[in-house]
Amino acid sequence: MSLLYKSGTALLRRLPAERAHVTTVKLLRAGLGPKTGEITSDILKTTVGGLNLPNPVGLAAGFDKDCDVPDAMLNAGFGFVECGTVTPRPQIGNPQPRLFRLVEDEAVINRMGFNNRGLDHFSERLRARKGNAGIVGANLGANKDSDDRPADYVAGLSRLWGHADYFTINISSPNTPGLRQLQGADEMEDLLGRIAETRAALTGNEPSVPIFLKVAPDVDSGQIGRIVEQARTYGMNAIIVSNTTLDRPESLQSAHHGEGGGLSGQPLFEKSTRVLSEFADAADGSIDLIGVGGIGSGAQAYAKIRAGAKAVQLYSALVYHGPQLVAQICADLEARAKADGFKTIGQAVGADLT
């Protein structure tokens, strides 16, 4: 089976990047995805932001923008799946080509621009899987032409409330002009204040589902403490660190290295892990963290955990290693935790922090 998926991954890489992605989703919808099933053990079970996970390896947003194949990806062994980014109204995104493989660097550059079918379709897809096992989250964004972007996040939260297992407020994409300005102090105060008010109204006397905040790796180090404090003040349950970067390391070898958009994959690992450590230092255990950026092996997933992440997410590495990577990472995480004398993966969280 591993050889089959390796062959399929190689064939898909012969297609233009976006066409390969669309084809992959179609194949998954047709039931041709992996059948690994849930991966779990006493060591791998963990909790992040109030979610009880069978294992700490999640699928990052961007792969399943329209919530078309969450159960197929759960069957690949992911401990949780994040769908989106979804905006209130459908939008086509930026002009093509807008997705580029940097094969020599095991990286991807994208400037997709939140292309998606909107909340109506996304809501229908979530409703269709009601009763299915597995944790599925909704990554919320704002329309490019919105006059009131915080209102777009409120609309997404309100429309999907009761159907997603958690929500992520994505203010970190570099491909919607001005979106990252919402990471500013005053802008974040307004946004998170409105989210908190909406959450209180929707929750009533019932327990709330978790809400996470997703930030950019390009955030100024001097702002990290303030972001942590605002996230805590307004009841965010975790911070996802991080999205793609606008940086272009000198080490990049691919001819596509100069394309505009966000860079993900291996070249992002070092920077995103450093920023994760800075968030962990600032948080000092007061809010959970999820580590994202450049994870392509069990060693890298474990490094994120030891840097302060209670769970991790990946996406770009699937382009180069296929869906069998999830099981490989989980097995490696379990082996590394045992070797270090940890009875649970949670005991390894922040082990490298000074």
How does DSSP classify residue 230?
A: H
Cis previous bond, 97, omega within 30: yes
- Are 230 and 183 spatial neighbours (Cβ–Cβ below 8 Å)? no
How does DSSP classify residue 209?
A: P
Q: How far apart are CA 191 and CA 23, in angstroms?
A: 36
- Are 77 and 37 spatial neighbours (Cβ–Cβ below 8 Å)? yes
User: Per the residue annotation, which of 123, 146, 172, 173 is the catalytic one?
Assistant: 173
If DSSP states are collapsed to H, E and C, what string results for 35-78?
CCCCCCCCCCCEEECCEEECCCEEECCCCCCCCCCHHHHHCCCC
Rounded to a whole number of angstroms, the distance between the first and last alpha carbons of the chain is 43
Q: How far apart are CA 189 and CA 65, in angstroms?
A: 27
Q: What are phi and psi of 167, to 5 degrees?
A: -125, 145
Strand ranges, E, within the chain:
46-48, 51-53, 57-59, 80-86, 99-102, 107-110, 136-140, 166-170, 211-215, 238-241, 262-265, 288-292, 311-314
Residue 65's alpha-carbon distances to 22, 69, 138, 180, 184, in angstroms, are 11, 9, 9, 20, 26
- Are 39 and 54 spatial neighbours (Cβ–Cβ below 8 Å)? yes
Please state whether beta strands 262-265 and 107-110 pair in parallel, antiparallel, or not at all (unpaired).
antiparallel
Instruction: Please confirm, yes or no, whether 173 is among the known catalytic residues.
Output: yes
Q: How far apart are CA 340 and CA 132, in angstroms?
A: 35
Catalytic residues: 173
